Structure 1
């Protein structure tokens, strides 16, 4: 029992470090470095969930509303989001993506996938099969 616990703890440690390093390398495959990772996260949330208020966006991103207000101002200044009046609450606005933001998100994803595809292509087929199974397991662990 103790050996299993130690093996599991060691695996958790090794996997955490590997995922962090991998994530960092993947994030570094950028198209437009003038847009921060925080900005990209907010844009990705809008793409995934649709237009929403800055408060809702802050909730999704788990940041305080004043922080999200700064992000929205920056994104609006770059022409990546629009603000429109809220349909039922005149005190609120709705934030949505512009076509430029859609194009940026597509290019960012394409750059990361191209980098990863190149790395995967260099691996032997057995390693790619192992990673395919690992991706399924990791998705399951993440609750997907």
Structure 2
């Protein structure tokens, strides 16, 4: 694969975007895979970390809310939550008004795992940025805004 930016299909002015889409998809997946490898607990799956991250960003959830957020079935989420609970990363809090309902929240240990994983991932990107030219860093800063726009559509 050619790494030269000036020969990228992303800069081609033709109206056929298939090559550009493929190039962007492959580069995005490769970077995402490298970032996912930067984690505080090597044995934790991406799905398990996603649950911890969701609780960090969005606060406590019911099992159903977590399953919906992560787009998995409730039984699948229950297995994930049980594994994370057994590892001490989260806790189930019974609802005082409805004893059948529980809220799932992070423990201090779970929050530490999320914080350390985020720190490692940020450090990976910071090291990569330090190796780039100022123009390349500027291009990536602009690309990040555009990628967020694409992701939010």
Report the TM range for the smaller structure's normalisation.
over 0.9
Gaps of 5+ in 2: 1-12
Moved over 3 A (4+): none
Deviations 1:107-139 (A, max 9, x none): 000001111110110011110000000001111
Question: Hey, what's the Cα distance between the residues in 1 that align with 2:115 and 2:109?
Answer: 10
Residue in structure 2 matched with residue 106 of structure 1 by the alignment: 115
Residue in structure 1 matched with residue 14 of structure 2 by the alignment: 4
CA RMSD in angstroms, aligned pairs only: 1.3
Shift of 1:20: 0.6
Deviations 1:47-81 (A, max 9, x none): 11111111110000000000000011001101111
- Verify: 1:85 aligned to 2:100, yes or no: no
Tell me the secondary structure at the aligned position of residue 82 of structure 1: strand
The alignment's TM-score, normalised by the length of structure 1, stands at 0.93
The answer to which structure has the higher helix fraction is 1
Note the 1:43-122 alignment, pairs <5 A.
43-122=52-131
When the two structures are aligned, how many residues end up with a matched partner? 141
Tell me the secondary structure at the aligned position of residue 83 of structure 1: strand
Gaps of 5+ in 1: none
